Structure 1
Amino acid sequence: MILVFGRSGQVATELVRQADVTALGRDAVDLRDPPAAADAIAARNPRAVINAAGWTAVDAAEGAEAEAHVLNAEAPGVMARTCAARGIPFLHLSTDYVFDGAGTTPWHEDDMPAPLGAYGRTKLAGEHAVRDAGGPYVILRTSWVFSAHGTNFVKTMLRLSDTRDCVSVVADQVGGPTPAAAIAGALLRMADAMQAGKAGGTYHLAGEPHVSWAEFARAIFAAAGRRTEVDDIATADYPTPTRRPLNSRLDCAAIMRDFNIPAPDWRDGLRDVLEEFQA
């Protein structure tokens, strides 16, 4: 049995849809009390643990960094140490926000992190806690997650297009939109490989080809048959509490080399999501 922390998030939802896993939502385990995660693992003795939970409200983290740190760093650390003591593979989701977004080349796993805000700092602290636990682990950094459920850019654009003829979208942030289904599939495949003795580590998985948010919005409207126009704006024209990385490109060569998992084509994932909406 694979134990999943998280149930209602995009990746956790896809994990439940793709495999026979035991997913624990906040009603079952309150990660604001990190020792509860250790109790949950000990009670179930799973063959692998996937952490798909955490604080994901990027802007809200600026005013609540201590709370975000508990969910994004302390709780994963407890999970990882508990798994390490039992020899259980532990897989943990992280983010492109651990980087500062400088330059235009894709980030490699061994590039120096330099988060711009509280969310990125807490996620980076979680990475350190997982590595320091000393057990078999995978840290999977991803970006721009979307699906047919939860809150994400695709759903926001479609909602706005219901009432607007034109939407302003930033055009100087570039990255890889990533289907939640592809992330879930990768985690399950890596969990199986690790249980069979495969070494883990830190990996990147993000969609290709790289696009700006504005380009992604145009692709969404085109695929959905919407006539909404996109007005390109700069990040400076859309200020938010958290500074967003301009360069969120992630190099995915390592996960292909070690696990034979290719970077997903987000255009295929977008078609799948839109078909699910229609169904």
Structure 2
Amino acid sequence: MSVSPDASGAGRALVTGASGMLAHDLVPALRAAGWVVTAMDRADLDVTDPAQCVAAVEGHDLVVNTAAYTRVDDAETDEAAAFAVNAVGAANVARACARGGARLVHVSTDYVFDGTESEPYAVDHPVAPRSAYGRTKAAGEWAVRALCPESWVVRTAWLYGAGGPNFVATMLRLATERDTVSVVDDQVGQPTWTVDLADLVVRLVAAGAPYGTHHGTSSGQTTWFGLARAAFELNGLDPQRVLPTTSDAFPRPAPRPGWSVLSHASLTAAGVAPIRDWREALSLFAG
């Protein structure tokens, strides 16, 4: 069931995964846009429990599912745990939304792609995940599309923000501990501030953009090395202290995409402005 909008005209929104980095900025962004927000973290809502999802969604007009298993390397040895949250959990939320008449925004990832292209990935590019985490997130996307037609899947990548551990904060901490830091220069992506992604989600819903898949990443592109250097420079640190290296120097259980640049063409077609350039956002976050 759905409820009538409040006086602001927005309605009631549920945010799952409320203790996460994105939700830290999403909840206030929705409230600023006039939504009456219910924020639920893992202690409040276990998305792997179908009955809990039905009860949580009831009475809401919009659900933004940010609940996810994000321990990319751990998923390689415990894919079942990642699948339970990222696929089964997504299905439970989507089914509850369809039953309750709520629209759904489901947050996904660049890891659903193989990371081998050289042009921005279109929203309809075939998925080909190379990691357990990517496989479980791809399964979650499929479940959302199949079970809740009134839904948006928003893929993002390279997130950083004040609400949780992130690469930019790690680099600035290491700057106080080491003379130099070595950072990979062979992975390309779009550093995305959680404030900007939260704003995009709000605008996407407000615009009534077509249901389906959209990409929520910053404009422009760089490498992790380029991002680290920019963060140093914006904080008055010598960027020469950041040294380039390769992914081979940092072997990880889960393969990292070499190319994580996502196309924003679907947003433009829907009349929704893509997120600003990553450098502009970083200057506000780290400067």
In structure 2, the residue matched to 1:167 is 181
Distance in 1, matches of 2:263 and 2:97, equals 28
Paired residues of 2:203 and 2:272 also in contact (CA < 8 A) = no
Task: Map Cα deviations across residues 173-194 of structure 1 (whole Å, 9 max, x no partner).
Answer: 0010011111111111222334
Q: How many angstroms apart in 2 are the aligned matches of 1:17 and 1:220?
A: 26
Question: SS state of the match for residue 207, structure 2?
Answer: helix
For residue 182 of structure 1, the aligned residue among 191, 196, 199 is 196
How many Å apart are 1:200 and its aligned residue? 1.0
Q: Equivalences for 1:102-117 in 2 at 5 Å?
A: 102-117=116-131
CA distance in 2 between partners of 1:262 and 1:192 (Å): 14
Q: Which residue of the partner structure matches residue 158 of structure 2?
A: 144
Q: Which residue of 1 aligns with 2:47?
A: 31
Q: Give me the whole-angstrom Cα distance separating, in 1, the residues matched to 2:220 and 2:71.
A: 26
Q: What is the TM-score when the length of structure 2 is the normalising length?
A: 0.90
Within a 5 Å distance, the mapping from 1:55-70 to structure 2 comes to 55-70=69-84
* Cα shift at 1:91: 0.5
For 1:188 and 1:76, the matched residues in 2 are separated by 20
**Residues 257, 73 of structure 1: alpha-carbon distance in 2 compared, 3 angstrom cutoff:** same
Aligned to 2:236: 225
Matched, 1:158 2:172: yes
Of 277, 281, 284, 1:265 maps to: 277
Q: Is the 8 A contact 1:136 1:199 kept in 2?
A: no
Of residues 267, 272, 280, the one that matches 1:255 is 267
Sequence identity (%): 40
Q: Which residue of 1 aligns with 2:218?
A: 207
**Aligned match of 1:47 in 58, 61, 73?**
61
Counterpart of 2:265, as a letter, is A
Deviation at 1:125, TM superposition (A): 0.3
In structure 1, the residue corresponding to 2:217 is in which secondary structure? coil
Of stretches 121-130 and 54-63 in structure 1, the one that deviates more from structure 2 is 54-63
Structure 1 stretches of 4+ with a deviation exceeding 4 A read none
* Contact 2:200-2:274 at 8 Å conserved across structures: no
**Secondary structure of the corresponding residue to residue 187 of structure 1:** helix
Q: Secondary structure at the match of 1:19?
A: helix
Deviations 1:213-244 (A, max 9, x none): 10111000000112261111111111001000
Q: Which residue of 2 aligns with 1:124?
A: 138
Task: Give yes or no for contact 1:34–1:70 (8 Å, CA) kept in 2.
Answer: no
- Normalising by structure 1, we get a TM-score of 0.93
The size of the alignment, in residue pairs, is: 270
Whole-angstrom CA distance in 2 between matches of 1:130 and 1:72: 11
Q: Check the 8 A contact 1:148/1:274 in 2, yes or no.
A: no
Instruction: Decide whether the 8 Å contact of 2:47 with 2:93 is kept in 1.
Output: no
What is the deviation of 1:33? 2.8
Superposed CA deviations along residues 230-266 of structure 1, whole A, max 9, x for unmatched, are 1111111110010001000101121122142223212
8 A contact 1:32–1:71 mirrored in 2: yes
* Counterpart secondary structure, 1:78: helix
Secondary structure in 2 matching 1:248: coil
Describe the superposition over 1:81-115 as per-residue Cα deviations: whole angstroms up to 9, x where unpaired.
Answer: 12112332100000000001112111001111111
* Backbone CA RMSD of aligned residues: 1.4
Partner of 1:16: 27
Q: CA deviation at 1:18?
A: 1.6
Go from structure 1 to structure 2 and tell me whether the alpha carbon gap of 1:222 and 1:67 turns closer, same or farther (over 3 Å shift): same
3-state DSSP of counterpart to 2:117? coil
Q: Which runs of 5+ in 2 are unaligned?
A: 1-11, 32-36
Q: Is contact 1:166-1:230 (8 Å) kept?
A: yes
Q: Secondary structure at the match of 2:226?
A: helix
